[in-house]
Amino acid sequence: MSPSVPGPRRAPSRGRRAFAGTWWGQAWVTALEDSTLDSGRLSRGRTYARQGMVGAVTIAPGQVKAAVQGSRPRPYRSAVHLPVLTDAQWGTLLDTIAARAGHLAALLDGEMPAELIDDARHAGVPLLPQPTELDPECSCPDWGHPCKHAAALCYAIAATIDDDPFVLFTLRGRGRDDVLAELRARRTAGRTTDAPPAPAGVHAAGAYAAWTALADHAPGWPGLPDLPEPSAHDAALPVPPPAGSGLVGADLERLMTDVSARAARLLSGDATNLHLTQHQDAVRIAASGPGPEWFHDLVQNTGANPTAFARLTRAWRHGGPTGITVVEQPHSPEPSAMTAARTALTTALAEMTDTPVRLRAWRNRLTLPDHGIQLRLGPDARWYPYLQENDSEWWPAAPTTTDPVAALTAIWQRTGM
């Protein structure tokens, strides 16, 4: 550990540092406190955390959430979001850890090496959160950023980060088991020095673009073949899978059909699904309706929470890959767009009902809390309708539209108003 890094792991009993005793735990607290100038809400958050008003905490890739008891009988649903690392950033981070044997040893011993953080930061990989990255969310009516409940949640998990630095890895997108498995694979690959290096290959998007460019500019260059008929995607396997392989012919045929259909869409110019992550592709497959057994296997093999995975599956059906982004990543659109939408909705609601309707705005979301309706403005400038269901969570509820009033109308009747 760097000499400049505080060594004691015991947190003081009072003050801001009462929640974290390690330098990396305090880095989490500092990111929270540097993200706002509202010292009053931070102070209330610290009081709530000390009084045990934060319930069971759920830590998942990109977010931590919990029920936080406030002044009302029913706890509020609070969450703090943190951007996950890209696959390329994960590759760099894992290479950085693998480069020094002491890094992994320290992590397994419950320590976060300061040198690891420095090396990763110099390579452009932010493992520790920056103040601008923490994105609080809460069901309370307080519009603070963060509110005192989300602040309490941040303070409450600092001790967990103290005890297990792998929590930071989970928040950035990969859990302890995944990280250790990747590092073992790197060590194994490093021992195999006699084998010739595998060809790097060409990304599918690059190969397609290169072929198209040659076809357009090189006389006599063969063009792309005509698209096959849709029925050609349903070819059977030429031979059954080997006995004892664990593979099922029907499953492989379904995957063949899926790959053929995606290739046909790519050849027609639709590259929407070309850059999906493994997580997004699993959701895409589940959204195609392969059946409950496939859904269960996809949940098991991706390590996803079943309810969260089902929510993403529904989001894909209504909005494709952008629908997933709208579920997972709130953002701050142009204020003028939100103001115009709020004005249009207020006018429409006055015509739809005789009673006043509360309309709350937060980031890219317009919420009717008394009706369990929420509209989210996506990065594609389309509105995504949501309904609050029995688990009190927001679920995608209808196809997207560029008109916020049309989005509201599409789900208004479903609430029984």
Task: Encode pLDDT of 286-303 as tens digits.
Answer: 888 777 777 787 877 777
**Residue 31 near residue 168 (C-beta atoms within 8 A):** no
CA distance 86 to 176: 17
- Eight-class DSSP state of 366: E
- Kindly tell me if the per-residue pLDDT of 333 is higher than 50: yes
Higher pLDDT, 292 or 215: 292
Judged against a pLDDT cut of 60, whether residue 6 lies above it is answered with: no
Q: How far apart are CA 169 and CA 234, in angstroms?
A: 41
Percent of the chain at pLDDT exceeding 90: 22
Residues 17 and 159: their CA atoms lie apart, in Å, by: 11
Rounded CA separation 290/253 (Å) = 12
Half-sphere exposure of 168 (CA within 13 A, CB side): 27
pLDDT digits (tens, 9 = 90+) for 359-389: 988 889 999 988 889 999 999 999 999 998 8
Measured CA to CA in angstroms, residue 369 lies from 257, 348, 358, 372 at distances of 43, 17, 7, 5
**What is the pLDDT, as a whole number, of residue 373?**
92
Structure confidence at residue 118 (pLDDT): 83
What angle is formed at CA 361 by the lines to CA 358 and CA 367, rounded to 5 degrees?
55
Tokens of 395: 């679920």
Q: Which residues on neighbouring strands pair with residue 68, listed in sequence order?
A: 54, 76
According to the model, what pLDDT value does residue 4 have? Answer: 33
Q: Which residue has the higher pLDDT, 398 or 131?
A: 398
- Summary mean pLDDT of the chain: 80
Per-residue pLDDT tens over the stretch 113-125 = 888 888 888 888 8
Task: Report percent pLDDT > 70 for the chain.
Answer: 81
Round to whole Å and give the CA distance between 301 and 283: 12
Using N-to-C axis directions, what is the helix angle for 278-287 and 306-328, rounded to 10°? 110
The pTM is what?
0.47
Give the 3-state secondary structure of residue 156. Answer: helix
Question: Is the pLDDT at 416 greater than 60, yes or no?
Answer: no
129-133, 273-277, 314-318: least confident range: 273-277
Q: How many residues does the chain have?
A: 417
Long-range contacts made by residues 164-170, C-beta under 8 angstroms, separation at least 24?
A: 164/110, 165/24, 165/107, 165/110, 165/111, 165/112, 166/107, 167/59, 168/24, 168/28, 168/112, 168/127, 168/128, 169/127, 170/59, 170/60, 170/61
Tokens coding 340: 């115009």
- What's the mean pLDDT in 295-316? 83
Single-letter amino acid code for the residue at 415? T
pLDDT of residue 75: 92
What mean pLDDT is predicted for residues 173-181?
89
* pLDDT at 285 > cutoff 60: yes
Mean pLDDT of the 53-58 span = 91
As a whole number, mean pLDDT of residues 148-174 equals: 90
Lowest mean per-residue pLDDT among 16-25, 83-92, 276-285: 16-25
pLDDT in tens, 315-327: 999 988 899 889 8
Nearest-angstrom CA–CA distance, 416 and 396: 17
DSSP 229: P
Question: Strand, helix or coil at 167?
Answer: helix
**pLDDT higher than 70, residue 204:** no
Highest average pLDDT, of 32-46, 192-206, 337-351, comes from 337-351
User: What is the pLDDT at residue 114?
Assistant: 84
Give the pLDDT mean for 168-196.
78
pLDDT higher for 356 or 268? 356
pLDDT at 8 over 80: no
pLDDT tens, 246-259?
667 777 777 777 77
Confidence class for position 167, pLDDT limits 50, 70, 90? very high
Residue 131 above 70 pLDDT? yes
User: Which ranges of 99-163 does DSSP label H, i.e. alpha helix?
Assistant: 101-108, 114-122, 148-156, 158-163
Q: Which residues contact 330 (CB under 8 A, 6 or more apart)?
A: 81, 135, 137, 362, 363, 364, 365, 376
For 142, the 3-state DSSP assignment is coil
